[in-house]
Structure 1
Amino acid sequence: MTQPAETPVAIPLAESSRIAIPKLGLGTWKLAGAEGQAAVESALALGYRHVDTADRYGNEVEVGAGLAAAGVARGEIFLTSKVWYDNLAPEALRRSLEGSLRKLTTPYLDLFLVHWPAPDMDLPAVVAALEAARSEGLIRRWGVSNFPLGLMRRLEEIGAAPACLQVEYHALLSQRALLEWCVPRGIALTAYSPLGQGALAEQPVLQEIGRKHGASPLQVALAWLLRQEMVVAIPKAGRRESQQANLRAVPLAAKLDAADVARIDALPKDRRRVNPDFAPDWNA
Structure 2
Amino acid sequence: MNSKHQYVELNDGHFIPRLGFGTYKPQEVPNSKTIEATKIAIEAGFRHIDCAYAYQVEEEVGLAIRSKIADGTVKREDIFYTSKLWSTFHRPELVQSCLEKSLKKLNFDYVDLYLIHSPMELKAMEKCKDAGLAKSIGVSNFNRRQLEMILNKPGLKYKPVCNQVECHVYHNQRKLLDFCKSKNIVLVAYGALGTQRDKQWVDQSSPVLLDDPVLGALAKKHKRSPALIALRYQLQRGVVVLAQSFKENEIKENIQVFDFELTAEDMKDLDDLNRNYRYLAAEFGADHPNYPFADEY
TM-score higher than 0.5: yes
- The aligned amino acid for 1:140 is K
Matches of 1:157 and 1:273 in 2, distance apart? 31
- The aligned amino acid for 1:21 is I
Deviation at 1:191, TM superposition (A): 0.3
- 8 A Cα contact 2:141 2:292, kept in partner: no
Matches of 2:113 and 2:272 in 1, distance apart? 33
CA shift digits 1:183-223 (9 cap, x unpaired): 12221111001111262221000100110000111111111
Matches of 1:137 and 1:60 in 2, distance apart? 19
1:77 paired residue number: 79
Q: What pairs up with 1:260-275 in 2 under 5 angstroms? A: 260-275=266-281
Q: What is the DSSP-based 3-state SS (H/G/I as helix, E as strand, rest coil) of the residue aligned with 2:237?
A: coil
- The aligned amino acid for 2:11 is S
Match of 1:154 among 130, 145, 149: 149
Asked whether 1:143 is paired with 2:143, we answer: no
- 8 A Cα contact 1:83 1:97, kept in partner: yes
1:278 paired residue number: 285
Asked whether 1:113 is paired with 2:115, we answer: yes
- 8 A Cα contact 1:200 1:221, kept in partner: no
- The aligned amino acid for 2:21 is L
- TM-score, with length taken from structure 1: 0.89
- 8 A Cα contact 2:169 2:270, kept in partner: yes
Identical-residue share of aligned pairs (%): 33
CA separation of 1:239 and 1:232: change in aligned 2, threshold 3 A: same
Q: What pairs up with 1:31-50 in 2 under 5 angstroms? A: 33-50=31-48
Deviation at 1:283, TM superposition (A): 4.1
Q: Which moved more, 1:41-50 or 1:242-251?
A: 242-251
Matches of 1:240 and 1:9 in 2, distance apart? 22
Extract unaligned runs of 5+ from structure 2. Answer: 197-207
Q: What pairs up with 1:211-226 in 2 under 5 angstroms? A: 211-226=220-235
CA separation of 1:281 and 1:82: change in aligned 2, threshold 3 A: closer
2:164 paired residue number: 166
Matches of 1:136 and 1:223 in 2, distance apart? 36
Deviation at 1:181, TM superposition (A): 1.6
2:264 paired residue number: 258
Matches of 1:70 and 1:166 in 2, distance apart? 26
Matches of 1:23 and 1:136 in 2, distance apart? 26
Extract unaligned runs of 5+ from structure 1. Answer: 1-7
Count of paired positions: 267
The runs of 4+ residues in structure 1 deviating greater than 3 Å are none
Match of 1:243 among 233, 242, 251: 251
Asked whether 1:233 is paired with 2:241, we answer: yes
Q: What is the DSSP-based 3-state SS (H/G/I as helix, E as strand, rest coil) of the residue aligned with 2:84?
A: strand
Matches of 2:223 and 2:250 in 1, distance apart? 16
